[in-house]
Structure 1
Amino acid sequence: MARKISMGARREVLSTVTERYESAKRAEKGRILDALCATTGWHRKHAVRALRRSATVGPGRMEAPGQRKRRYGATIKDAMTALWEASDRVCGKRLKVMIPTLLPALEQHGRLQLGEADRDRVLAISAATIDRLLVDVKIAASGGRRRRAGFYSAIRREVPIRTFNDWNSPVPGFCEVDMVAHGGTSVAGSFIQTLTMVDVATGWTECLPLLTREGSLVVEAINRAQSLFPWLLRGVDFDNDSAFMNDVVVPWCREQKLEVTRSRAYKKNDQAFVEQKNGAVVRRLMGYGRFDGVETARVMGRLYAAARLYVNFFQPSFKLKEKRREGAKVIKRYHLPSTPYERALAHPKVTPDVKKRLRDQYRSLDPVVLLAEIRATQDELGNRVDRRAGHAGDLQRAFTTTTPTSAATFAKTLGKTVTAGEPRATHRRTRRPYKTRIRMPSKLDPHIAAIEGWLAEQPQLTALAIVGRLSEIQPEEFGARQHSIVQRLLRALRRKTADQVVAAAPLPGVVDGSGYVGPDPPTAPLVEQAGKA
Structure 2
Amino acid sequence: MDDTLDRLVRFRELGKVASRVTPEVLDELCAMSPATIDRYLKPHKDAHYPVALGTTKPSHILRSSIAVRTSMDALPDGGGFYELDTVAHCGHTTKGEYLYTLTMTDPRHGWTMLRAIKNKAHVHVHAALEWMRKNAPLAVTGMDFDNGSEFMNWAVIAWADTHNIQVTRGRPYTHNDNAHVEQRNGDWVRKHAYRYRYETDHELQLLNELWRLVEQRKNHLLPCVKVIGTKASRSGRKRAIYDKPEPPYSRLMRSGLLDERTRAKLAAVHETLNPARITRRINQIQQQLIELAAARTQGTRPAA
TM-score range, shorter chain: 0.7 to 0.9
Equivalent position to 1:203, from 110, 117, 127? 110
Counterpart code for 1:367: P
Percent of aligned positions with the same letter in both sequences?
28
Equivalent position to 1:296, from 203, 207, 217? 203
User: Are residues 1:164 and 2:46 paired?
Assistant: no
Equivalent position to 1:345, from 253, 273, 285? 253
| Distance in structure 2 (CA, Å) of the matches to 1:170 and 1:386 | 47
Question: SS where residue 94 of structure 2 aligns?
Answer: coil
| Distance in structure 1 (CA, Å) of the matches to 2:295 and 2:67 | 41
| Distance in structure 1 (CA, Å) of the matches to 2:70 and 2:229 | 16
Equivalent position to 1:379, from 268, 273, 287? 287
Q: Would the aligned equivalents of 1:322 and 1:332 in 2 still touch at CA under 8 Å?
A: yes
Partner of 2:33 in structure 1?
Answer: none
Question: SS where residue 67 of structure 2 aligns?
Answer: coil
Question: SS where residue 385 of structure 1 aligns?
Answer: helix
Q: Would the aligned equivalents of 1:291 and 1:387 in 2 still touch at CA under 8 Å?
A: no
Question: SS where residue 166 of structure 1 aligns?
Answer: coil
The CA deviation string for residues 45-88 of structure 1, in whole angstroms up to 9 with x for no partner, is xxxxxxxxxxxxxxxxxxxxxxxxxxxxxxxxxxxxxxxxxxxx
Structure with greater Cα Rg? 1
| Distance in structure 2 (CA, Å) of the matches to 1:278 and 1:167 | 22
The CA deviation string for residues 351-376 of structure 1, in whole angstroms up to 9 with x for no partner, is 34322322122112212221121111
Partner of 1:234 in structure 2?
Answer: 141
Q: Which runs of 5+ in 1 are unaligned?
A: 1-149, 389-429, 434-533
Q: CA deviation at 1:346?
A: 1.6
Q: Would the aligned equivalents of 1:184 and 1:290 in 2 still touch at CA under 8 Å?
A: yes
| Distance in structure 1 (CA, Å) of the matches to 2:127 and 2:236 | 45
Equivalent position to 2:219, from 312, 320, 325? 312
Equivalent position to 1:259, from 156, 159, 166? 166
| Distance in structure 2 (CA, Å) of the matches to 1:206 and 1:151 | 24
What is the aligned residue count? Answer: 243
Equivalent position to 1:213, from 90, 105, 120? 120
Partner of 2:94 in structure 1?
Answer: 187
Question: SS where residue 185 of structure 1 aligns?
Answer: coil
| Distance in structure 2 (CA, Å) of the matches to 1:321 and 1:311 | 21
Q: Which runs of 5+ in 2 are unaligned?
A: 1-56
Output aligned runs, 1:112-151, within 5 Å.
Answer: none
The CA deviation string for residues 254-292 of structure 1, in whole angstroms up to 9 with x for no partner, is 111111111111111111110111111101101111111
Q: Would the aligned equivalents of 2:58 and 2:172 in 1 still touch at CA under 8 Å?
A: no
Counterpart code for 1:385: A
Q: CA deviation at 1:247?
A: 1.4
**What is the TM-score of this pair, normalised by structure 2?**
0.74
Q: CA deviation at 1:386?
A: 5.0
User: Are residues 1:366 and 2:282 paired?
Assistant: no
Question: SS where residue 368 of structure 1 aligns?
Answer: helix
Q: What do you get for the CA RMSD once the two structures are aligned?
A: 2.3
- Cα distance change, pair 314–242 in 1 and its aligned pair in 2 (3 A): same
Q: Would the aligned equivalents of 2:99 and 2:116 in 1 still touch at CA under 8 Å?
A: yes
Instruction: Give the structure with the larger helix fraction.
Output: 1
| Distance in structure 2 (CA, Å) of the matches to 1:182 and 1:212 | 10
- Cα distance change, pair 188–234 in 1 and its aligned pair in 2 (3 A): same
Higher RCO (CA < 8 A, seq sep 6+): 2
Question: SS where residue 253 of structure 1 aligns?
Answer: helix
Q: CA deviation at 1:151?
A: 10
Question: SS where residue 207 of structure 1 aligns?
Answer: strand
Question: SS where residue 355 of structure 1 aligns?
Answer: helix
| Distance in structure 2 (CA, Å) of the matches to 1:288 and 1:154 | 30
